C-alpha cells in the first residue's frame, strides 16, 4: 500500500521503497529511460513501461495500479505545471480540469483528439505555444450523448471552448471559461485506446471536405 506521503511528483526510486515487487534496480532503469516520477507513469504511452528492461506486463500493471491509487488519493497533487500537461497530453490520457471561477469537475475527462503543439516566437524573442485538445466524458469517444469540449492553450492561458458547430453536444459549461489547473491523473483502458486510435485513423483517412463517412460510422456501417 503506497504511503500517504507519496504524490505525483514522487520519483520512482523513492516509490520503489514503498512498493513490493518494483525494486531499486528496475526503478533506476525507469528513471534512466525518462520515467522519473509517478506522474510520468500516469502519462506513459501504451508500451512505454514494458519497453524498459525487466519491466514485464505484470510489473507494468503494478506500476499503473500504484500510480492510479496515488492519484486517486484526495491529498495527492496532479502535475503542477498545467501548461506542460496540455503540451504533453496524448490520446487516451485522463485529465482533471479545475476552472478558475468554478469547482473542479469530479470525473476526469478523456483526451479523444489531439493537435500537435505549435511553437511561436514573439517580436521580443520569447517563445510560446498553442495547442487544442478535444476532451470527452466518454472513454472511447463514441458515446453519442457524451459531453465534449476543447481545452485550448495559448501561451500561459488555458481555457475551455465549445467544439465546432458540427460536433456540438451538451456542454459542461459555457464557452470561454478560464482554467486554473490541469492535472494528468491516468489513462483510459487498452480497449478504449484502441477505439480512439481507430477513430483517429478514420478521421485522417477521410477525403478533405467530405464528411459523409461519419453518418455511416454512426449507423455502424464502417469498421
d(CA 155, CA 117): 11
Q: Which CATH superfamily is domain 12-72 in?
A: 5' to 3' exonuclease, C-terminal subdomain (1.10.150.20)
Beta-carbon count within 10 A of 210 CB = 8
Tell me what pLDDT residue 98 has. 85
| Cα 211 to the center of its chain, rounded Å | 27
Q: Rounded to the nearest 5 degrees, what angle is found at the Cα of 78, between the Cα atoms of 3 and 12? A: 50
The residue extents of the domains of the chain are 12-72, 82-187
Please return the burial class of 102, using the count of CB atoms within 10 Å of its CB with bins 0-12, 13-18 and 19+: middle
Largest separation between any pair of C-alpha atoms in the chain: 55
Tell me what pLDDT residue 171 has. 47
Report residue 160: phi and psi, to 5°: -100, 130
Contacts of 219 (CB under 8 A, 6+ apart): none
Please, are residues 76 and 7 in contact by the beta-carbon 8 Å criterion? Answer: yes
Please report, in tens digits, the pLDDT of each residue of the chain (223 residues total). 555 677 777 889 888 888 888 889 999 999 888 888 887 887 777 688 888 999 988 998 899 888 888 877 645 445 568 898 899 888 888 888 888 876 656 678 899 999 999 988 877 777 889 999 999 988 876 666 788 889 999 988 999 888 765 444 444 444 568 888 888 877 777 777 788 888 776 655 555 555 554 444 444 444 4
d(CA 146, CA 179): 21
Tell me what pLDDT residue 9 has. 76
Amino acid at each position: 500500500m503506497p504511503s500517504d506521503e507519496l504524490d505525483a511528483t514522487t520519483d520512482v526510486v523513492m516509490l520503489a521503497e514503498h512498493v513490493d515487487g518494483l525494486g531499486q534496480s528496475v526503478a533506476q532503469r525507469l528513471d534512466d529511460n525518462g520515467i522519473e516520477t509517478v506522474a510520468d507513469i500516469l502519462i506513459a504511452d501504451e508500451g512505454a513501461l514494458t519497453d524498459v528492461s525487466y519491466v514485464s506486463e505484470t510489473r507494468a500493471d503494478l506500476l499503473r495500479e500504484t500510480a492510479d491509487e496515488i492519484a486517486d488519493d484526495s491529498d495527492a497533487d496532479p502535475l503542477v505545471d498545467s501548461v506542460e500537461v496540455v503540451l504533453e497530453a496524448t490520446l487516451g490520457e485522463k485529465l482533471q480540469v479545475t476552472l478558475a471561477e468554478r469547482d473542479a469537475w469530479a470525473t476526469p475527462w478523456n483526451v479523444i483528439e489531439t493537435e500537435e503543439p505549435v511553437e511561436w516566437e514573439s517580436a521580443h524573442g520569447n517563445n510560446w505555444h498553442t495547442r487544442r485538445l478535444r476532451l470527452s466524458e466518454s472513454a472511447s469517444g463514441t458515446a453519442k450523448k457524451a459531453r465534449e469540449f476543447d481545452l485550448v492553450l495559448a501561451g500561459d492561458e488555458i481555457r475551455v471552448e465549445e467544439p465546432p458547430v458540427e460536433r456540438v453536444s451538451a456542454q459542461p459549461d459555457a464557452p470561454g471559461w478560464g482554467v486554473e489547473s490541469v492535472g494528468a491523473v491516468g489513462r483510459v483502458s487498452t480497449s478504449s485506446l484502441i477505439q480512439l486510435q481507430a477513430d483517429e485513423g478514420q478521421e485522417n483517412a477521410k477525403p478533405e471536405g467530405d464528411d459523409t463517412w461519419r453518418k455511416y460510422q454512426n449507423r455502424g456501417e464502417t469498421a
